[in-house]
Amino acid sequence: KAKEMSGNQFQLFFPDIENRAVEQIQLENDLFKALQHDWEFELYYQPKFNVRTNELIGMESLIRWNHPQLGTLSPAHFIPLAEETGLIIPLGEWVIRKACLQMKKWYEDGHKNLVISANLSPHQFSQKNLVPMVKEILIETGLPPFLLELELTENLIIHNTEQTLKTIGELKELGVQISIDDFGTGYSSLGYLKDFPVDTLKIDKSFIDDITTNSNNAAITKTIITLADSLHLNVIAEGVEEEEQAKFLADHGCHWIQGFYYSRPLQSKAFEHHFLKKFTQRGY
C-alpha cells in the first residue's frame, strides 16, 4: 500500500536529502534535550607552550558532545547547528562557565599563571548580554579575569565594527584577554588591528601545515609574527604537528605554540596527568 502513495516517490528519489533533514532535526532535538542537563557535554583541553622555554602557558578548551547513541561528536558536527538554532547561547554559556570552573580548580591547586581560552562563535558574540554573562561567571567562579581568554574569529571582528569594538572594549574592561583565532584567513584589512584592543593573534593552521615547504605560507607566517611584534601583541601558532614546524616557528620568533606535536586535546584528568601532575606533587 505504501508504494502507491505519492509521498513515497520522494523517498525513492531523494533518500539522502530526506534522511539528512531528518537527522538534523533529530540532532537538534537531542541538543535541546542535552542542554536541559549538562552531563553529555565535555571540555577537552589542549596545552599551549612557550616555544623558547617549553613552559606550559595555558590551554584551549574544546567542546565534545558525548551523544548517548552516536558516541563522541566533535564541534564540527553540532556547533553549526547550534549556531543556526540559537542553542549556541546556552551551550556557549555552559562552555565559559565550565572552563572558568576548571581553571579556578587548577589555580587553587597551585597553577597560578595558566590562561584558559574558550572559543566564541559569531552568534554568541553578538548576543546582547554576553558581557554581563561573562562578568557573572567570573564573579561566581572566582577566577581572576586575566586568566580567561576568549578566542574570536577574524570574520566575526570585521562585521558590524562599531558594536564589535564596544563589546571587545567592555570585555577588556572586565580584564578578560582577547585573541583572534584563525588569523590570516579572514577578509579583513589590517587596519582594524590598531583599533581593536586584542591581546593575541593566533596564526591559522592552514599556514602552518606546509610552512617548511611552501614559501608563500612561510612568508605570511613571518609577516604575522613581525606584525604582532610591532603592535606589541602576543602571537601563537596553531596546528603544529611536526618538529620542523616548531623549529621554524621558534627560529622566527613566534612566542607560543599549540598542536598535535605537543599534545592532542585531552580530557581534564589526562591533562592533569600529563601537564599538571609533577607541579602539583611538588606542592606548589
Span of 13-21, 125-133, 172-180, 259-267 interacting with ligand C2E by CB under 6 A = 259-267
Of the two residues 70 and 205, which places its CB atom closer to Mg ion in the complex? 205
Residues 219-258: x/- map of binding to Mg ion (CB under 5 A)? Answer: -------------------x--------------------
Residue 58 makes contact with ligand C2E by CB under 6 A: no
Binding segment for ligand C2E (CB under 6 A), chosen from 113-121, 139-147, 171-179, 226-234, is 113-121
Neighbour-count burial for 56-81, b at 16+ CB within 10 Å, e otherwise: bbbbbbbbbbebeeeeebeeeebbee
Among the candidate windows 75-83, 129-137, 218-226, 266-274, which touches ligand C2E by CB under 6 A?
75-83
Q: Is 90 in the site for ligand C2E (CB under 6 A)?
A: no
Nearest to ligand C2E of 62, 147 (CB atom): 62
Question: DSSP secondary structure string, the chain?
Answer: -GGGSTHHHHHHH-HHHHHHHHHHHHHHHHHHHHTTSSTTEEEEEEEEEETTT--EEEEEEEEEEEETTTEEE-HHHHHHHHHHHSTHHHHHHHHHHHHHHHHHHHHHTT-TT-EEEEE--HHHHTSTTHHHHHHHHHHHH---GGGEEEEEEHHHHHSSHHHHHHHHHHHHHHT-EEEEEEETSS---TTHHHHS---EEEE-HHHHHTTTT-HHHHHHHHHHHHHHHHTT-EEEE----SHHHHHHHHHTT--EE-STTT---B-HHHHIIIIIHHHHHTT-
Site string for Mg ion, 42-61 (x = CB under 5 A): --------------------
Question: Min. distance of Cβ 75 from ligand C2E in angstroms?
Answer: 3
What residue type is 134 in one-letter code?
A: V
Q: Which residue's CB is nearer to Mg ion, number 51 or number 118?
A: 118
| Near Mg ion in 164-193, by CB under 5 A | 181-182
Residue 154 vs 181, nearer CB to ligand C2E: 181
Is residue 30 within the footprint of Mg ion (CB under 5 A)?
A: no
Nearer to Mg ion, 73 or 99 (CB): 99
Q: How many whole angstroms separate alpha carbon 271 and alpha carbon 277? A: 9
Shortest Cβ 118–ligand C2E spacing (Å): 6
Residue 154 binds Mg ion, judged by CB under 5 A = no
Closest by Cα among 241, 244, 261, 260 to 252: 244
The only residue of 10, 13, 32, 260 in contact with ligand C2E, by rule CB under 6 A: 260
Query: Is 119 one of the binding residues for ligand C2E (CB under 6 A)?
Result: yes
Contact residues for ligand C2E, defined by CB under 6 A: 46, 62-63, 74-76, 79, 92, 95, 118-121, 151, 181-182, 238-241, 259-260, 265
